[in-house]
């Protein structure tokens, strides 16, 4: 197949060739063919083999990880993004993608200096009393340097790698093209709406590239935990912050998983585990805004014993709607109500195809039965969440991104707690938070708000009904109205559908005429009898005639 389905700038042709050859070299030649990139792979390589000895013994998931590592920063970020989307990918692949390391050699200081000076608008010597050329850490998007402000305050300066934004934008364009091709050419591409997934990832990584946004995230966390002596959020130095440079108060402490270091500093690992769990759960259930990348490198324990968070580029939200849906799911779980659980799960998801509800209910019931007699303190969130997300994956239920991000955050938190003290349970600590959440569902204030919202929705829909009926009738008049009827048991002949379609059309007309009669009776033009419009009376009589005709047809046949 020597077609070129991807229309892109010639300057990206080299990157396409690199992508095609890396995929081919790791045994994904069939995918190269499927997206029409086979012409970019040398014919000798296509002819003499698809899986070199170096990768033939590896699992597909391991080979995917190697592909992403070789393709660089954007691909690594994509893998990390997908590791949180266990509703989209198999569990084995998600676990393998969690191994991706976002660590790269640092950029030379002479390339860093111009970025800082251009972003902050002054020479480095004027901006800082001291600036260490050697970074504390280097990742694919940025590196972090220790520095000192002119007033003597120690800070850390996060500087974006030169040229990384342009490279990522080029890769995002290629990713979108490939997603669109897979969506058109494969069934799974259609089911999972891969272009939407690509756009979701693009939105995520672009947000990470704007360090001002990360600064605002830090400010929000700092405000949320104001007055809480258990948690510390470093201060953003806005005078030294821009789109590509972020300056934060420098904090000192022990890495959260350094058990020996914690003990040496006089901290009890069990107490630290309790505090970190409570801090994360407070963000989720009380603030509705949580740190979504709580890996050990981003959390420290200060000398005073406060949990200190770093790196606020990835955050998650629990808005009122998601909060309510989580509460309803929790109530269904507590009551062992499988039908309600399945209904809520389907309503929560983006569904692009018909679901075998009976099979889903069976699988959900089988999953719930495993936890009937298990004490909460013995439940491991990683295992239970993996089973839940695997269920969503098997039935092609695409969950809200913030929900999958929340699941990953809680699984990562549980991993930290196990390191500190295996007997500490996130599920056990989360129980009072969950019970409070469920209690809110039955509170009088919430029920009143729900009632007001329902009445308001009914009023809006009632006001819009005449317009919508007019649209339907207009489509019917022009032949544009189509009615889709599915029968799972047997094929239904056209002749059997015609009477039902006729009665449906008659019912729509009768409804429209009835609404018109109500309006005309009050405000109709022309002569009036007893202050009632004659035109309205005639229209009402016609509406009654249509209704009686419809009732007679139903009574005569015994069915609609």
Rounded Cα gap, residues 258 and 416, in angstroms: 10
Q: 165-197 pLDDT, tens per residue?
A: 999 999 999 999 989 988 888 877 777 788 988
Would you say 234 and 215 are in contact if contact means Cβ atoms under 8 Å apart? Answer: no
Residue 33 lies in a domain: yes
* Closest-CA residue to 186 (of 351, 32, 34): 34
518 within a domain of the structure (yes/no): yes
For 202, the token pair is 């693009």
* Alpha carbons 526 and 179: distance in angstroms, whole number: 62
Residue 310 in any domain: the answer is: yes
> Which of the listed residues 390, 423, 442 is the one where a domain comes to its end?
442
Q: Where are the alpha helices (DSSP H) in 53-149?
A: 53-56, 60-71, 73-83, 91-97, 109-120, 124-127
Last residue of one domain, picked from the residues 387, 418, 442: 442
Together in a domain, 311 and 269: yes
CA distance 182 to 521: 58
Instruction: Kindly report the CATH number assigned to the domain that includes residue 127.
Output: 3.30.200.20
Residue 416 near residue 256, CB atoms below 8 Å: yes
Structure tokens at 66: 């190697």
Q: Are residues 148 and 190 in the same domain?
A: no
Closest CA to 69 of 17, 26, 113: 26
What is the per-residue pLDDT across 30-48, written as a single tens digit (0 to 9) for each? 888 888 888 888 865 655 5
pTM of the model: 0.74
Sign for the CA dihedral angle at 38, 43, 49, 53 comes to negative
Query: What is the C-alpha separation between 214 and 235, in angstroms, rounded?
Result: 12
Residue by residue, DSSP assigns 59-72 as: -HHHHHHHHHHHH-
Let me know whether 500 and 525 are in one domain. yes
| CB distance 381 to 71 below 8 Å | no
Q: Are both 219 and 317 inside the same structural domain?
A: no
Last residue of a domain, one of 382, 414, 442: 442
Q: Is residue 467 part of a domain?
A: no
Question: Would you mind telling me the total number of residues written for the chain in this entry?
Answer: 560
Q: Please tell me whether residue 291 adopts helix, strand or coil conformation.
A: strand
The closest of 259, 230, 196, 234 to 417, measured between CA atoms, is 259
- Comparing CA positions, the residue from 326, 308, 157, 321 lying closest to residue 221 is 308
User: What would you measure as the largest C-alpha separation in the chain, in angstroms?
Assistant: 97
Considering only CA atoms, give the Rg of the chain.
30
- Tell me if residue 138 falls in helix, strand or coil: strand
The pLDDT, as a whole number, for residue 521 is: 62
Catalytic residues: 293
Please report the sign of the dihedral spanned by the C-alpha atoms of residue 103, residue 106, residue 107, residue 113. positive
Structure tokens at 274: 């309790």
Residue 521 burial by Cβ neighbours in a 10 Å radius (0-12, 13-18, 19+): middle
My answer on whether 33 and 74 are in the same domain is yes
CB 50 within 8 A of CB 67: no
Claim to verify: residue 343 and residue 388 sit in the same structural domain: yes
Is 456 among the domain residues?
no
Q: State how far the Cα of 350 lies from the Cα of 319, in Å rounded to an integer.
A: 17
Asked if 519 and 497 sit in the same domain, the reply is yes
**What b-and-e string marks burial along 140-160, b requiring 16 or more CB atoms within 10 Å of the CB?**
bbbbbbebebeeeeebbbbbb
Alpha-carbon distance of 33 to 20, in angstroms, equals 9
| Domain match, 42 and 154 both | no
**What DSSP assignment string belongs to 318-333?**
--HHHHHHHHHHHHHH
- Per-residue DSSP letter, 238: G
Please answer whether residues 390 and 384 qualify as being in contact, where contact means their C-beta atoms are separated by less than 8 angstroms.
no
**What are the residue ranges in the chain where pLDDT is below 70?**
1-11, 43-55, 102, 352, 442-465, 469, 473, 476-477, 479-513, 515-526, 528-532, 536, 550-560
Residue 386 lies in a domain: yes
> 412: closest CA among 295, 254, 318, 301?
295
Query: What's the burial of 62, exposed, middle or buried (CB within 10 Å: 0-12/13-18/19+)?
Result: middle
Contact between residue 112 and residue 145 where contact means Cβ atoms under 8 Å apart: yes
**Per the domain annotation, does 461 fall within a domain?**
no
Residues 215 and 344 in one domain: no
| 476, HSE (Cβ side, Cα atoms, 13 Å) | 16
Domain shared by 147 and 222, yes or no: yes
CA distance to 161, 162, 194, per residue, from 167 (Å): 11, 10, 21
Residues 337 and 400 in one domain: yes
Pairing state between β 137-138 and 307-309 = unpaired
In a domain, 447, yes or no: no
On whether both 193 and 222 belong to a single domain, the answer is no
Residue matched to tokens 């890495």: 255
End-to-end CA distance of the chain: 53
Structural domain including 65 reads 10-101+166-199
Q: How many domains does the chain have?
A: 4
Q: In this structure, which long-range contacts are made by residues 151-157, counting pairs with CB atoms below 8 Å and at least 24 apart in sequence?
A: 153/237, 153/249, 154/249, 154/250, 155/237, 155/240, 155/247, 155/248, 155/249, 155/250, 156/247, 156/248, 156/250, 157/116, 157/128, 157/131, 157/240, 157/245, 157/246, 157/247
DSSP 506-548: HHHHHHHHHHHHHHHHHH--S-EETTEEHHHHHHHHHHHHHHH
Tokens representing residue 136 in the block: 């504390």
Report the distance separating Cα 473 and Cα 478, nearest Å: 9
Report the alpha-carbon distance of residue 316 to residue 407 in Å, rounded. 11
């Amino acid at each position: 197949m020597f077609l070129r389905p991807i229309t892109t700038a010639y300057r990206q042709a080299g990157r396409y060739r690199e992508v095609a050859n890396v995929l081919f070299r790791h045994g994904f030649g069939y995918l190269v063919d499927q997206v029409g990139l086979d012409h970019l792979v040398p014919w000798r390589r296509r002819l003499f083999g698809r899986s070199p000895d170096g990768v033939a013994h590896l699992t597909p998931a391991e080979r995917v990880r190697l592909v992403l590592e070789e393709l660089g920063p954007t691909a690594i970020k994509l893998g990390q993004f997908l590791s949180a989307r266990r509703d989209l990918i198999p569990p084995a692949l998600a676990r393998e993608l969690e191994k991706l390391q976002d660590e790269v050699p640092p950029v030379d200081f002479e390339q860093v200096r111009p970025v800082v000076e251009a972003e902050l608008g002054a020479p480095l010597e004027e901006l800082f009393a001291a600036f260490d050329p050697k970074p504390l850490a280097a990742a694919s998007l940025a590196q972090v340097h220790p520095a000192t402000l002119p007033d003597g305050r120690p800070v850390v300066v996060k500087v974006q790698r030169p040229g990384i934004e342009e490279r990522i934008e080029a890769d995002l364009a290629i990713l979108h093209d490939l997603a669109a091709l897979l969506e058109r050419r494969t069934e799974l591409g259609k089911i999972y709406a891969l272009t939407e997934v690509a756009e979701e990832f693009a939105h995520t990584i672009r947000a990470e590239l704007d360090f001002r946004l990360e600064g605002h995230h830090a400010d929000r966390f700092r405000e949320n935990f104001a007055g809480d002596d258990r948690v510390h959020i470093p201060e953003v130095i806005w005078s030294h912050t821009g789109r590509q440079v972020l300056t934060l108060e420098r904090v000192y402490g022990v890495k959260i998983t350094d058990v020996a270091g914690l003990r040496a500093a006089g901290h009890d690992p069990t107490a630290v585990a309790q505090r970190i769990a409570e801090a994360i759960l407070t963000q989720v259930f009380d603030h509705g805004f949580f740190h979504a990348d709580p890996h050990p490198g981003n959390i420290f324990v200060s000398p005073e014993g406060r949990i200190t968070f770093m790196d606020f580029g990835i955050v998650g939200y629990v808005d009122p709607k998601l909060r309510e849906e989580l509460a309803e799911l929790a109530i269904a779980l507590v009551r062992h109500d499988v039908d309600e659980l399945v209904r809520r799960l389907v309503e929560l998801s983006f569904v692009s195809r018909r679901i075998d509800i009976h099979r889903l209910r069976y699988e959900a019931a089988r999953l719930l039965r495993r936890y009937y007699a298990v004490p909460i303190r013995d439940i491991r969130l990683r295992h239970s969440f993996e089973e839940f997300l695997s269920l969503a994956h098997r039935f092609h239920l695409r969950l809200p991104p913030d929900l999958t991000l929340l699941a990953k955050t809680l699984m990562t938190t549980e991993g930290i707690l196990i390191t500190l003290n295996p007997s500490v349970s996130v599920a056990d600590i989360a129980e009072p938070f969950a019970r409070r959440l469920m209690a809110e569902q039955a509170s009088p204030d919430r029920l009143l708000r729900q009632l007001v919202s329902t009445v308001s929705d009914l009023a809006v829909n009632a006001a819009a009904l005449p317009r919508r009926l007019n649209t339907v009738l207009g489509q019917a008049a022009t032949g544009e109205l189509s009615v889709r009827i599915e029968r799972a048991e047997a094929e239904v002949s056209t002749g059997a559908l015609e009477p039902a379609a006729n009665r449906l059309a008659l019912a729509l007309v009768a409804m429209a005429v009835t609404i018109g009669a109500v309006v005309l009776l009050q405000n109709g033009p022309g002569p009036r009898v007893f202050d009632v419009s004659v035109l309205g009376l005639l229209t009402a009589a016609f509406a009654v005639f249509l209704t009686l005709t419809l009732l007679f047809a139903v009574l005569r046949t015994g069915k609609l």
